[in-house]
């Protein structure tokens, strides 16, 4: 059973998907701590409801690295195996990424490498997809490296863009798939079936 730290800035529905999968014994992982950069993030309430330690770490009057050191101090107390970014809107510095190299995964609401990079998060992603005329969108789980949304991709799931989709309807269908592939990626990590080869992730067969 691996131990997870989850970083979240918002409502925490992706966090909830991992908690639910853990409580149903669908994954060999347990969320032991949740950290948010926003005091009113509902993700913190979700954690508390399930008896998970939850922390708000204020970023005011701190450099990005100073903020991350505070987050890191908390995470390190729990001896976690994997850090999951579930709607965490802060860009991580090389300090944090190198400290937890290949132990941080992120969920992104588009088919990477499309619709990624600075400023591409949440509804902005879905609006960009609709404005582009793309017929397919989806979501991706990837390892986090120094690039923005550019780390090796673990799993992707495609979603049809329908003729009369709005940002909200498309977001809703993509989110449904996020809630499936994030726990799946956690389980693959728990089973030690993810092998990073350059920019690619090879999924190894079950032992």
Question: What phi and psi values does residue 151 have, to the nearest 5 degrees?
Answer: -70, 165
Measured distance CA(142)–CA(144) in Å, rounded: 6
Measured distance CA(110)–CA(138) in Å, rounded: 5
DSSP code string of 6-20: EE-SS--HHHHHHHH
Contact 158, 196 (CB under 8 A): no
Cα–Cα distance list, 45 to 10, 34, 82, 95 (Å): 11, 10, 21, 29
3-state helix, strand, coil in the chain (%, to 5): 35, 25, 40
Contact 105, 139 (CB under 8 A): no
Residues identified as active-site:
108
Sign of CA pseudo-dihedral 102, 105, 110, 111: positive
């Amino acid at each position: 059973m691996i131990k997870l730290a989850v970083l979240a800035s918002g409502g925490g529905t992706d966090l909830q998907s991992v908690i639910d999968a853990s409580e149903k014994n669908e994954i060999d992982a347990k969320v032991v701590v949740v950290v948010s950069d926003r005091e009113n993030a509902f993700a913190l309430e979700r954690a508390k409801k399930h008896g998970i330690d939850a922390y708000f770490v204020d970023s005011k009057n701190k450099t990005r690295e100073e903020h991350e050191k505070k987050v890191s101090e908390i995470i390190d107390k729990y001896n976690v195996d994997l850090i999951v970014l579930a709607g965490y809107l802060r860009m991580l510095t090389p300090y944090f990424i190198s400290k937890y190299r290949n132990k941080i995964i992120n969920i992104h609401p588009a088919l990477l490498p499309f619709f990624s990079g600075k400023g591409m998060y949440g509804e902005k992603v879905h609006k960009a997809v609709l404005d582009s005329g793309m017929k397919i969108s989806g979501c991706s789980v990837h390892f986090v490296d120094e690039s923005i949304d550019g780390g090796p991709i673990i799993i992707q799931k495609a979603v049809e863009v329908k003729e009369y989709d709005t940002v909200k309807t498309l977001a809703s269908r993509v989110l449904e798939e996020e809630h499936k592939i994030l726990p799946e990626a956690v389980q693959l990590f728990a089973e030690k079936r993810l092998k990073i080869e350059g920019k690619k992730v090879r999924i190894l067969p079950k032992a």
